[in-house]
Structure 1
Amino acid sequence: MYIKTRLTVMNFLQYAVWGAYLTSMGAFLANVGLAENIGLFFATQGFVSLFMPAVIGIVADRWIAAEKLLGICHFLAAVFLGAAAYMGAQPQVAFAPVYTFYTLSVAFYMPTIALSNSVAYSVLRQNGVDTVSAFPPIRVFGTVGFICAMLTSNFTGFQNTYMQWNFSAILGLILSVYCLTLPLCPTCAEKAKSLAEALGLKAFALFKEKKMAVFFIFSMLLGMSLQITNAYANPFINGFNMLDGFSGSWGANNANALISLSQVSETLCILLIPFALKRFGIKKVMLISMGAWVLRFGLFGLGNPSTGVGIALLIVSMIVYGVAFDFFNVSGSLYVDKETDASIRSSAQGVFMLMTNGFGAMIGTLGAQWVINKLVNVHIADYAAQYGALAQGATYPADFSALIEKGWSCSWFIFSGFALVVMVLFAFIFKYKHEPEAIK
């Protein structure tokens, strides 16, 4: 029980660090004149995930105990994010220094997602605990931490300013110290037999197995959906304040609070994972996740935060998100841990992270930015060219408001259609025979 409590605290802080700014960063960037770069900031999380999780996983497997390395990474991420906050507090916010420090911060934070999973799995196994049954109830408190942090950012007003980054940095420093007190996660004692093994590249040999190769490829495709609503849900909902006939509603003024329902749904859905994996297997669980992504985006396309039916559709979308995220992200991580050898588990988690939050998130967010720039921001730019910047507290005329609202709807429907195509392809291509286990 003591070990589970220690890991629960770790998970709470791990995701509170991210929740402090992830869903509200888009609103802050828009407020300081960097709206057209929102996709780039979120895509950067994907870019650094192309190599940093794998590199850090290799170091954890071969040279530095995972819990110590986790603390080091959180310390560096917090320092750089604090520097980004300082640059974001200037009267005239310059893109280059803010983006540089932000990039350095996420370069050290993103590997901690896989590394914290690896630490939890290692400590649980050392204590003779079944990871499939024990990890989800521990991981659920990561989502609780995310919710607490994002609600704090919402109701303190941090969600619209650089203070969200300062808040995250403080949490990161606390976690960096806490990680150093966790139980030891030994590195691999066996001497490497080859250069590839010494460098931790053995995990990439998993691509030689057809089942794992197909799983990783579809993880990348599904990962393209992961950061889209994190990047654009807040600007989308908050943006209704500037649309004729929609401004002033509670939902539009409390975007983070509304989005937090997604994380509340996560806390419930994580607890379903042990049952779902044992009863249905990874293929059906992934298909359920993909179907949930179709609904997640589609309901965003139909909803709005300012009318009864509109906000109801958004709330349903928030509820669906728990299934969409957990049944893919958490179940996928457990599947990788189960299917890989102990000597490469941290590295394999890094590869999973590379495909999902690396290639997938980067391509998906940049693609989403292109779509939204073409369908939404083009109308905002047209208005600015004709009439100048929109006055604070004002709304766009009815014709521009209709174009912007339609642009957002079309964007969400495009993302929904993509998720549907991925789901159909996965159903036919991924071959996996599951033997249902007894539910305990």
Structure 2
Amino acid sequence: MNLSIRLQLSVMMFLQFFIWGSWYVTAPNYLGTIGFQAGDTANTYSVGPIAGMITPLFVGLVADRFFSAQRVLGVLHLLGAVIMFCAIGFMQGESPSPNILNWGFFFGYMLTYFPTLALTNTIAMKNMTNPEKEFPGIRVLGTIGWIAAGFALTLGGYETNVGMFYMTAVAALLLGLFSFFLPDTPPVKDGDITISQIFGLDALALFKDRSYLVFIISSMLICIPLAFYYQIASRVVEHVGLPIGTTMSYGQISEIFFMVVMPFFFARLGVKWMLAIGMLAWVLRYGLFAIGAPDELRWMIIIGIVLHGICYDFFFVTGQIYTDQKADKPIRAQAQGLLVMLTLGLGMMIGAQAAGYVEARYTPQAAKDYNAQVVVKGEEIKAITDQAEGSLSAADQKKIDGLIKEKNKFRQDELASFEWKSMWGIPAIFAGVVMLIFVFIFNEKKKPINE
């Protein structure tokens, strides 16, 4: 792979995950200020997994068969940018409907975004001379892009306002245009592909292996508490007064570190205990949140976020490698696709709804009352700004400054009213139960995973 192609693929992967990181973690910090309740946030985080279960059909039957991958990538990102710009306009309207935002705009956007995750991998691998060695160096740029988005949110002051969605839309527009200048990646024309191959149904034969069945069920179940992290953790960070985007990025920085040291642990622990330690990290993380959030113990929250590296690498990456080991070569790609569908698709969708239910259950009336005041103050600020038509007088600016101060105070009072201990204790206990069941039932022979 020459330097020019490497740079192109690096920029592509960077922007691909910069887009996702621009809004996915911090969305509740803004949406909660325009009237979103727990159930609405649950739907915000359900539309992505649903899109993730639908879009393999598009990628497998259409994109991979009839069109050059880089052109499909460009069209999808440009369409996504249009949808996100439209969503921004709707958000800033009077009393925006959460259902329309979720099932109209966000679902539509995720239908355009999720196929691009597979397309960027396809474009990268097909333009490499040695994908096994070269792909990790390109893929890590995606994680760096997510980290950069978090820092940009903090530095730009977009962590709790609509600016995060502007960042997303602009980045999508840039990648959409840039995609047409990527190396040509023509469609695959040889052989037929079936629905069962697209959805990984041939890989169901792996379920005859008891250990793999235990693994796949545990993987799906552990994704239920995973949803709590994406939906709720950024509001804990806001509650304790840490910079939201930057602090949440510590998880991805940790991910890079633990990816580097994973081979050391592989050789000593084997599959079972790598997976078990990954699950234990979920328990510890949510335990730290449950204890640290009510008393605003920042160090506990930071450690909980840094544990993301172990949570992700030790469990999900190990699981991907374990799946690759267990599956015969003809069905390896299907097995990986089925794993993703059952975990980041079905598991995360169930988790999103469960997190919404738990959040609603442990959000007292006082928090709801404070939230109503946050929404009212936001509408008052918007009314003054709209009336001024871009030219604020000194009196108007003073009034807005006062309203912003009141809005922020109501927001902090709202977050302080949450029953954080129960909200995080439930996923901690759930993850602990899944871990114990896995440890006692999973009986794969201990051996280094790379043998």
> TM-score, with normalisation over the residues of structure 1?
0.81
Q: Alignment partner for residue 428 of structure 1, among 440, 446, 449? A: 440
Q: Does 1:324 align with 2:311?
A: yes
The question of whether the paired residues in 1 share the 8 Å contact of 2:256 and 2:309 is answered with: yes
State the shift of 1:105 in Å. 0.2
CA distance in 2, matches of 1:298, 1:97: 35
Corresponding residue pairs, total: 414
The question of whether the paired residues in 2 share the 8 Å contact of 1:23 and 1:234 is answered with: yes
The question of whether the paired residues in 2 share the 8 Å contact of 1:123 and 1:185 is answered with: no
Q: Alignment partner for residue 205 of structure 1, among 182, 189, 202? A: 202
Q: Secondary structure at the match of 2:154?
A: helix
The question of whether the paired residues in 2 share the 8 Å contact of 1:13 and 1:142 is answered with: yes
Q: Does 1:266 align with 2:255?
A: yes
CA distance in 2, matches of 1:428, 1:275: 25
CA distance in 2, matches of 1:426, 1:87: 45
State the shift of 1:343 in Å. 6.4
CA distance in 2, matches of 1:5, 1:19: 21
In the other structure, the counterpart of 1:296 is: 285
State the shift of 1:270 in Å. 2.6
Q: Alignment partner for residue 52 of structure 1, among 52, 55, 63? A: 55
Q: Does 1:286 align with 2:288?
A: no
CA distance in 2, matches of 1:277, 1:65: 38
Q: Which amino acid aligns with 2:79?
A: L
| Root-mean-square deviation (Å) | 3.4
Q: Does 1:365 align with 2:366?
A: no
Q: Does 1:27 align with 2:39?
A: no
Q: Does 1:182 align with 2:183?
A: yes
In the other structure, the counterpart of 2:399 is: none
Q: Which amino acid aligns with 1:436?
A: P
The question of whether the paired residues in 1 share the 8 Å contact of 2:268 and 2:448 is answered with: yes
CA distance in 2, matches of 1:113, 1:91: 34
Q: Which runs of 5+ in 2 are unaligned?
A: 378-405
Q: Which amino acid aligns with 2:287?
A: G
CA distance in 2, matches of 1:267, 1:121: 21
The structure-2 alpha-carbon separation of the partners of 1:167 and 1:416, relative to structure 1 and needing over 3 Å to count, comes to: same
The question of whether the paired residues in 1 share the 8 Å contact of 2:250 and 2:306 is answered with: yes
Q: Does 1:150 align with 2:150?
A: yes
Q: Which amino acid aligns with 1:70?
A: L
In the other structure, the counterpart of 1:243 is: none
In the other structure, the counterpart of 2:338 is: 351
The structure-2 alpha-carbon separation of the partners of 1:25 and 1:364, relative to structure 1 and needing over 3 Å to count, comes to: same
The structure-2 alpha-carbon separation of the partners of 1:435 and 1:350, relative to structure 1 and needing over 3 Å to count, comes to: same
State the shift of 1:62 in Å. 4.3
State the shift of 1:438 in Å. 7.2
Matching of residues 36-435 of structure 1 within 5 Å: 36=38, 37-99=40-102, 100-124=104-128, 127-130=129-132, 134-180=134-180, 181-182=182-183, 184=185, 187=188, 189-191=190-192, 197=194, 200-201=197-198, 203-210=200-207, 211=209, 212-239=212-239, 250-251=241-242, 254-277=243-266, 280-304=269-293, 310-336=297-323, 347-381=334-368, 392-394=407-409, 404-405=417-418, 407-433=419-445, 435=447
Q: Which amino acid aligns with 2:407?
A: Q
The structure-2 alpha-carbon separation of the partners of 1:183 and 1:359, relative to structure 1 and needing over 3 Å to count, comes to: same
CA distance in 1, matches of 2:188, 2:93: 44
The structure-2 alpha-carbon separation of the partners of 1:10 and 1:146, relative to structure 1 and needing over 3 Å to count, comes to: same
The question of whether the paired residues in 2 share the 8 Å contact of 1:137 and 1:271 is answered with: no
CA distance in 1, matches of 2:278, 2:321: 15
Deviates more, 1:8-17 or 1:65-74: 65-74
Q: Which amino acid aligns with 2:83?
A: F
The question of whether the paired residues in 2 share the 8 Å contact of 1:58 and 1:199 is answered with: no
Deviates more, 1:279-288 or 1:413-422: 279-288
The structure-2 alpha-carbon separation of the partners of 1:188 and 1:331, relative to structure 1 and needing over 3 Å to count, comes to: farther
The question of whether the paired residues in 2 share the 8 Å contact of 1:20 and 1:146 is answered with: yes
CA distance in 2, matches of 1:438, 1:156: 43
Q: Which amino acid aligns with 1:29?
A: L
CA distance in 2, matches of 1:63, 1:199: 19
CA distance in 2, matches of 1:346, 1:60: 17
> TM-score, with normalisation over the residues of structure 2?
0.79
State the shift of 1:237 in Å. 2.9
CA distance in 2, matches of 1:342, 1:108: 30
Deviates more, 1:329-338 or 1:292-301: 329-338
Deviates more, 1:14-23 or 1:207-216: 207-216
The structure-2 alpha-carbon separation of the partners of 1:375 and 1:113, relative to structure 1 and needing over 3 Å to count, comes to: same
CA distance in 2, matches of 1:79, 1:335: 40
The question of whether the paired residues in 1 share the 8 Å contact of 2:151 and 2:246 is answered with: yes
CA distance in 2, matches of 1:322, 1:4: 26
The structure-2 alpha-carbon separation of the partners of 1:179 and 1:380, relative to structure 1 and needing over 3 Å to count, comes to: same
CA distance in 1, matches of 2:440, 2:123: 35
CA distance in 2, matches of 1:97, 1:129: 42
Please tell me whether Structure 1 or Structure 2 has the larger radius of gyration of its CA atoms: 2
CA distance in 1, matches of 2:371, 2:187: 58
The question of whether the paired residues in 2 share the 8 Å contact of 1:118 and 1:346 is answered with: no
The structure-2 alpha-carbon separation of the partners of 1:354 and 1:198, relative to structure 1 and needing over 3 Å to count, comes to: closer
CA distance in 1, matches of 2:331, 2:285: 34
CA distance in 2, matches of 1:333, 1:119: 20
